[in-house]
Amino acid sequence: MDEQIIGYPSLHKLSSLDRILIETSRALHTVYGSPAESRPYPATSKNTRAFSKEDRNRSAAYMRVNHTGEVCAQALYQSQAMTARHSVNRDRMQHSADEELDHLAWCEQRIKELGGHKSLLNPLWYAGSFAIGAVAGLIGDKWNLGFVAETEKQVVEHLESHLAHLPETDLRSREVIAQMQADEAQHADQAMQAGAVALPAPIKLLMKVGGRVMTLIAYRL
């Protein structure tokens, strides 16, 4: 009998068609919609100094990268949930995806505040990440969780570098990123506790390179 995590939305009773329809709806909403957050917006400070145009554009570009990262996270978690073999892991992936919707909403709100725009290539980022997540899920749950853990660890490092490069006066973006960083670290720990295996070094390197390419492109587009 399948085990189920209390409080997690269960997907294992849905038909294949239901899952396809749900995932299609989620994909469209992620790429083209504006998801509502379930937690308060963490940017509570007021930036007391006016931004230069250059600083505003730089902050908007970094938040665009973070938004794209959250689009990729939605695709990864959704595809990994679909291909997970055990209902507990499937529900865990779905729960993490739901939590990451807050990040997606926060990044979009901050981009709007800065007068920026979301990445024009978000549909492509979503499709590519969904395919990668599906492959990870099909290999097996331990490797699936290992991919989650390594992804989240790299995201934490990625966000740390953003904090180092954002304008010092941009307190609001910093507050958003700090909360995202804490959540991502928690997701990595949860994956490890659930039985994730360490990925081979070449896979980790390939993931880093892929993340770097995404960052460079999304920063501009």
Q: Which of 27-31, 79-83, 103-107, 160-164 has the lowest mean pLDDT?
A: 27-31
Report for 84-88, 124-128, 149-153, 175-179: range of highest mean pLDDT = 175-179
For residue 4, pLDDT beyond 50:
no
What is the average pLDDT score of the chain? Answer: 83
Q: Which of 50-54, 198-202, 210-214 has the lowest mean pLDDT?
A: 50-54
Q: Which residue has the higher pLDDT, 107 or 29?
A: 107
Q: Percentage of residues in the chain with pLDDT exceeding 90? A: 34
Class of CATH domain 52-220: mainly alpha
For residue 13, pLDDT beyond 60:
no
The mean pLDDT value for 181-192 works out to: 89
- Every domain of the chain and the residues it spans: 52-220
- 87-91: list long-range contacts, CB under 8 Å, 24+ apart: 87/2, 87/3, 87/4, 87/10, 87/11, 87/12, 88/2, 88/3, 88/4, 88/5, 88/194, 89/141, 89/144, 89/145, 89/194, 90/11, 90/12, 91/4, 91/5, 91/8, 91/9, 91/10, 91/11, 91/12
Model confidence band, residue 114 (pLDDT cutoffs 50, 70, 90): very high
